[in-house]
Amino acid sequence: MFFSDQVLVNGSPAAGVVVSFSFSNPSLAFMVPLATITNASGNFTAVFLAANGPGTVIVAASLLDSPRTMASVTITIVNCP
């Protein structure tokens, strides 16, 4: 699953900003890369990969220079039959 978003500062795209990802249960999933840098348009993309299942994991994206969570999503992982 791809994660993409845009970082804005005062309504303008923020280039060169480091976005890092954390997980409520790191044994269930990981992100590639674990941290990424926004492009000239303030956009970033990373790939979510499930490692184990079943279970639920919350993925949070944060800016490296800020302790606040920028965005988060809850993902339910199920085993394939």
Q: What is the model's pTM?
A: 0.82
What's the mean pLDDT when you consider all of the chain?
91
Amino acid at 13: P
**The dihedral sign for the CA sequence 68, 74, 79, 81:** negative
Check which CATH number belongs to the domain holding 40 and give it.
2.60.40.10
**Which residue, 25, 34, 20, 26, is CA-closest to 69?**
20
The domain tally of the chain equals 1
Residue 14 structural domain: 2-77
Confidence grade of residue 71 (pLDDT, cut at 50, 70, 90): confident
pLDDT digits (tens, 9 = 90+) for 20-61: 999 999 899 989 999 999 999 999 999 999 987 899 999 999
Q: What's the burial of 30, exposed, middle or buried (CB within 10 Å: 0-12/13-18/19+)?
A: middle
Residue 13, φ and ψ in degrees, nearest 5: -55, 135
The one-letter amino acid code at 3 reads F
